[in-house]
Amino acid sequence: MQLAHFRIDNPFVQAPMAGITDAPFRTISRRFHDGLIFTEMISAEALCRNNSRTMIFARMEKEHHPVAFQIVGNKVERMVTAAKMAEGMGADILDINAACPEPIILKTGSGGTLLKDPDKLADMVSQISGSIDIPVSVKLRLGYYKDESIMLARRLEEAGASFLTFHGRTVAQKFSGDSDWDALKSVVGEAGIPILANGGGLTEEKAVDLLHHTGAEGVLLGRGLRGRPDLIGTSFSLFRTGKFERMSKELLLSTIMDHARLETEYYGKDSGIKRMRKHAVWYMKAAGFPLPHREVYQLRALDELGTLLTTALAPL
């Protein structure tokens, strides 16, 4: 996969997911692959104000690179300032969120709302790419109400975007219906810059199908990563060799515990454990060892998590 001056062997990319692909998750997932990693969306406003919690979400550790740092906002001037800050913090790529369909984001004129005003989005891309030296990309949906992907791709290419990620749904669709892989294929064929395809690559097989179907430069994997920080690596293995291996029970246990330790280091003991509960449920569900939710949501400490996991993974 070639994105601007980055040559990255693995065409499977770790998508941004707020509350999930945070810095601890990025550290853990890096153990399983060398591909491109997105941060979760970082509010440009909060970054400009040096909000302490945002600074934790935004942290890029040495091993996270290459990192696409995603910012979300609606004021061009603040987005430019945030982009310069991200570049200063060491981001490899600056990504603009023009995709998020959540009402809390839409009502601020950010995320998917930017697709209602392609002139403003193009101006944002042009001003940001004129202000920083790292490549600028945009993550967007096919359109707000209908598929306008080819027009949008041309406008954003002209404005200076190095590549684009399209999620094959409209903003109005949120997560309903299927991601439109044929529309993604059309925009890949028409665009003059690399396109990453997204939406529906939930398993290794689906991820490889999405890449083949669309002919995209690469594909972003989102929800499939829940409890599966290895998914980018296993998808690449399936793509290259036709097979892949899932984590052993021992590796699963040590991965979850290391992830939990990192959550507590970044967010403190109480918040860290609370943030980890959902990950623990996802890890174990994905591995076929569902955890009793009631017990998970009572967890207060790392050693309690260790005991719960060891019991759930013990041979019957």
Ligand X SMILES: Cc1cc2nc3c(=O)[nH]c(=O)nc-3n(C[C@H](O)[C@H](O)[C@H](O)COP(=O)(O)O)c2cc1C
Q: Which chain residues interact with ligand X by CB under 6 A?
A: 15-20, 40-41, 70, 97, 99-100, 139, 167, 198-202, 221-224
Query: Does 48 participate in catalysis according to the annotation?
Result: no
Classify residue 316 as exposed, middle or buried by CB count within 10 Å of its CB (0-12, 13-18, 19+): exposed
CB atoms within 10 A of CB 54: 17
Task: With CA atoms as reference, report the closest residue to 38 among 69, 64, 65, 60.
Answer: 69
In DSSP terms, which residues pair with 190 in a beta bridge?
none
CB atoms within 10 A of CB 186: 17
Name the active-site residue from 100, 124, 128, 221.
100
- Rounded CA separation 199/210 (Å): 8
Residues near 186 by beta carbon (within 8 Å), at least 6 away in sequence = 149, 150
Cα-trace Rg, the chain: 19
Query: What's the min distance (Å) between Cβ of 97 and ligand X?
Result: 5
- β-pairing, 218-221 with 195-198? parallel
Expressed in angstroms, the distance from the first to the final Cα of the chain is: 44
User: What are the residue numbers of the active site?
Assistant: 100
